[in-house]
Amino acid sequence: MVRVATITWAIYGAALAASATAVPDVQSILDLIRALQQAVDCDSCHASLAPLQTLAKRGDETFVGAITNICTIFQIEDADVCAGAIKDQAPILAHDLRHIDVWGETATKMCDAVFGLCQPPPVNELRMQFPKSAPEIPQVFKSTGRPPFRVAHFSDVHIDRQYTVGAEVNCTKPICCRHYEDQKEKKGQRIKVQARRHGERNCDSPASLADSMLIAVQEAASDAMFSLFTGDVAEAAVWLLDKTEVRKDMQEFNHQMAARLGFPVFGVIGNHDSAPVNNFPRSTTESPDVQWVFDVQSQGWRKWINSTSAYQMVHTSGSYSTVVPGTKLKIMSINTNYWYKQNFWLYDNDEPQADPNGILAFIIAELQAAEDAGQRVWVIGHSPVGKGDIMWDQSNYYDQIVQRYKNTIAGQFFGHTHADELQIAYSDYKNRTAANAVSVGLVAPALTPRSGNPAFKVYDVDPDTYEVMDAKSYFADMTHPTFRHTPSWALFYSARAAYGPLLNLPSSASLSPAFWHNLTELMVRNDTLFDEYQSRKNGGVRRRRCRGECKEKTICQMMSMRSEDDCVSVLFTSMTGSGGG
Contact with ligand NAG (CB under 6 A): which of 191, 503, 541, 571? 503
**264 or 487: CB nearest ligand NAG:** 264
Nearest-approach distance from CB 570 to ligand NAG, in angstroms: 28
To the nearest whole angstrom, how small is the minimum distance from the Cβ of residue 416 to ligand NAG?
Answer: 26
Q: Which is nearer to ligand NAG, 213 or 495 (CB)?
A: 495
Task: Map residues 165-194 to x or -, x wherever contact with ligand NAG holds by CB under 6 A.
Answer: -----x---------------------xx-
- The H or E element that residue 70 is part of is helix 60-73
Other CB atoms within a 10 A radius of the CB of residue 251 amount to 15
Determine if residue 382 is labeled as part of a ligand binding site.
Answer: yes
Cα angle 28, 34, 39 (rounded to 5 degrees) comes to 120
Which of 313-321's residues contact partners 24+ apart within 8 Å by CB, and which partners?
A: 316/358, 316/359, 316/362, 317/280, 317/283, 317/357, 317/358, 317/359, 318/269, 318/293, 318/294, 319/359, 319/362, 319/363, 321/366, 321/377
The three-state secondary structure class of 47 is helix
- Show contacts with ligand NAG in window 526-565 (CB under 6 A): 526, 528-529, 532
Q: Does 431 bind ligand NAG (CB under 6 A)?
A: yes
389 known member of a binding site: no
For residues 67 to 106, the per-residue mask of contacts with ligand NAG, x marking binding by CB under 6 A and - elsewhere, is: ----------------------------------------
Is 272 among the annotated ligand-binding positions? no
Distance CA 440, CA 579 (A): 20
Least gap, CB of 443 to ligand NAG (angstroms):
20
Considering only CA atoms, which of 159, 9, 174, 187 is closest in space to residue 81? Answer: 174
In whole angstroms, what is the distance from residue 175 CA to residue 203 CA? Answer: 5
For the bound state, the minimum distance from the C-beta of residue 428 to ligand NAG, rounded and expressed in Å, comes to 6
β-pair partners for 460 = 150, 470
In this complex, which beta carbon is closest to ligand NAG, that of residue 199 or of residue 580? 199
Strands of the 468-476 sheet, one edge to the other: 265-267, 226-229, 149-154, 455-461, 468-476, 489-494
Q: Return the residue of 308, 488, 569, 576 that touches ligand NAG, per CB under 6 A.
A: 308
Residue 396, annotated as binding a ligand:
no
Interface residues for ligand NAG in 433-462 (CB under 6 A)? 433-436
Residues 194-213 that bind ligand NAG (CB under 6 A): none
Q: Is 315 annotated as ligand-binding?
A: no
Q: Does 322 bind ligand NAG (CB under 6 A)?
A: yes
- For residue 434, which of 502, 496, 522 has the smallest C-alpha distance? 522
Backbone angles phi, psi at 94, to 5 degrees: -65, -45
* Sheet of 421-426, strands arranged across: 320-323, 329-334, 376-381, 409-414, 437-443, 421-426
- Chain residues 340-369 in contact with ligand NAG, contact rule CB under 6 A: none
Give the count of residues interacting with ligand NAG (CB under 6 A). 24
Q: Which is nearer to ligand NAG, 457 or 517 (CB)?
A: 517
Please spell the DSSP secondary structure of 112-153, one letter per residue: HHTTS-SPPPPP---PPP-SSPPPSSPPP-----PPPEEEEE
Residues 6+ apart with CB under 8 A from 117: 39, 40, 41, 42, 44, 45, 111, 571
Q: What are phi and psi of 455, to 5 degrees?
A: -150, 160
Q: Which of 317, 512, 538, 563 binds ligand NAG (CB under 6 A)?
A: 512
**416 assigned ligand-binding residue:** yes
Closest distance of CB 314 from ligand NAG, Å: 14
CB closer to ligand NAG, 100 vs 495: 495
Contact between 47 and ligand NAG (CB under 6 A)?
A: no
Measured from the CB atom, is 19 or 501 closer to ligand NAG? 501
Residue of 70, 377, 514, 570 that binds ligand NAG (CB under 6 A): 514
Beta strands in 168-327 (DSSP E): 226-229, 265-267, 320-323
- The binding site comprises 156, 158, 232, 271, 382, 416, 418
- List residues binding ligand NAG (CB under 6 A): 170, 192-193, 306-309, 322-323, 431, 433-436, 502-503, 512, 514-515, 518, 526, 528-529, 532
- The binding site for Zn(2+) comprises 156, 158, 232, 271, 382, 416, 418
